[in-house]
Amino acid sequence: MRKILLGVAAGAISLGAVFLSRGKESQRPSGGKAEGWVRAARLAQGIDHPLGVVVSDDFVYFAAGGFARAKNAICRVSTLGGTVETLALLDVLPSGDLAVDHDHVYFTSEHGNAVLRVAKTGGPTAVVANAHAPTQLALDHTHVYFVSFARHDPGGAVQRVAKNGGPPEILAGGHIGLDSLVVDERDVYFRSNSGLWRVPKVGGSAQVLWARTPTQNALRLTGDVAHLYFFWENPGSGKYALARLSKAGGSPEVIGPIVNANARLALSDTHVYFFRQASLMHDLLAKLAKSGGQPETVDGSGHSTGYLAVAGGDVYFTDISTVYRVAK
């Protein structure tokens, strides 16, 4: 018994040393590089829970906060770093999804029951649409697309509202677990707990492109001209791999490795960018050719909150207090 207890104590000391080592490593000076990441540079630090990240006109736009005692705001910082500008201090909680066009930053407040926007140079916020618990965002030239969740009816709806004002239109309703909108010239694509769907922007019946099975789910969604990219469950395992599906329909194909399905994915012209789990608390930022093949590590490993965007020659992502940039 004494030997067993000594062995347990030794194991506890060894495990404690591992955690202590990790703690010291995370505090180690980084010589201008991001802590925990080998290549990434900090663009903005000390942010109160940065949410979402979009890039436009040489600026990175992001929300901050998302809870009652936070400094809830819409902010931007140069893609080269520097002073963080607060575009608007918010009296509502931002949900975390952002979209930008030529003039405005759009965001949702699930608790505030509104889709809002603020000028990209800052100023007062304006309500674009009132809707129950809106999340997710996508834009085209004329409309803002978003997801809302019904107060009484089952499921939720994909809606849109004209940028120049007017009542929201429901494009598809009655879907549970809606998220991840993708918009092209003709259609809106979305993911729900029943599968992957397409609905015409002008209205009409939604068409299922892939139906969920009892042992296989899909998470997240983004797209390019020809394909939708998402995380596809290995049947019954709870683990997800990178997959794609033709917008014309057909069968999904696995193109990449097991991913951190709690995070998001983003596209360049040639690659898909995503996070892989490196350890219990750390991720690797990785990329994969859209046609599949061997994944490449872009940077790692460190903690991430799963938001990322690709613009120009760089990838932008966040952790609990920092916005990063790394060459793709």
Average pLDDT over residues 254-264: 96
Count the Cβ atoms, other than its own, within 10 Å of residue 74: 28
- β-partners of residue 309 are 316
User: Above pLDDT 70, what percent of the chain?
Assistant: 88
pLDDT band at 301 (very low <50, low <70, confident <90, very high): confident
Higher pLDDT pick, 99 / 69: 99
179 pLDDT tier (thresholds 50, 70, 90) = confident
Q: Which residue has the higher pLDDT, 153 or 279?
A: 279
Positive or negative torsion for Cα 230, 231, 236, 238: negative
Tell me the mean pLDDT in the region 180-189.
97
Q: Please report the pLDDT score of residue 34 as a whole number.
A: 41
Structural domain contains residue 21: no
Contact between 299 and 38 (Cβ < 8 Å): yes
Model confidence at 15: pLDDT above 50: no
| Average pLDDT value for residue range 286-299 | 97
Asked if residue 95 has pLDDT above 90, the reply is yes
User: pLDDT higher for 193 or 5?
Assistant: 193
Candidate from 96-110, 150-164, 294-308 with smallest mean pLDDT: 150-164
Look at the block and give the residue holding tokens 């193109």: 255
Q: Does 32 have pLDDT greater than 80?
A: no
Q: What is the pLDDT of residues 229-246, one digit of tens each?
A: 999 999 989 999 999 999
Residue 94: pLDDT above 60?
yes
Handedness of CA 121, 167, 53, 88 (dihedral sign): positive
Whether residue 279 lies inside any domain: the answer is yes
The verdict on residue 295 lying in a domain is yes
Determine the average pLDDT of the residues in 59-71.
94
Residue 221 lies in a domain: yes
In a domain, 242, yes or no: yes
pLDDT of residue 236: 85
- What integer is the mean pLDDT of 195-199? 97
Strands 323-327, 41-44: pairing is antiparallel
Q: What is the dihedral of CA 295, 297, 301, 305, to 10 degrees?
A: -70
Please, is 162 exposed, middle or buried when counting C-beta atoms within 10 Å of its C-beta (0-12, 13-18, 19+)?
middle
3 state SS for the chain:
CHHHHHHHHHHHHHHHHHHHHHHHHHHCCCCCECCCCCCCEEEECCCCCEEEEEEECCEEEEEECCCCCCCCEEEEEECCCCCCEEEEECCCCCCCCEEECCCEEEEEECCCCEEEEEECCCCCCEEEEECCCCEEEEECCCEEEEEEECCCCCCEEEEEEECCCCCCEEEEEEECCCEEEEECCCEEEEEECCEEEEEECCCCCCEEEEECECCECEEEEEECCCEEEEEEECCCCCCEEEEEEECCCCCCEEEEEECCCCCCCEECCCEEEEEEECCCCCEEEEEEECCCCCCEEEEEEECCCCCEEEECCEEEEECCCCEEEEEC
Burial pattern 120-138, b for ≥16 Cβ within 10 A else e, equals: beeeebeebbebebbbbbb
Residue 163 lies in a domain: no
Mean pLDDT over the full length of the chain: 89
In a domain, 93, yes or no: no
pLDDT digit string, tens, across residues 206-215: 999 999 999 9
Quick one: pLDDT at residue 249?
A: 87
Structurally, how many domains does the chain consist of? 1
CATH (domain of 270): 2.120.10.30
Range of the domain at 291: 213-328
User: Is 227 part of a structural domain of the chain?
Assistant: yes
pLDDT confidence of residue 153? 61
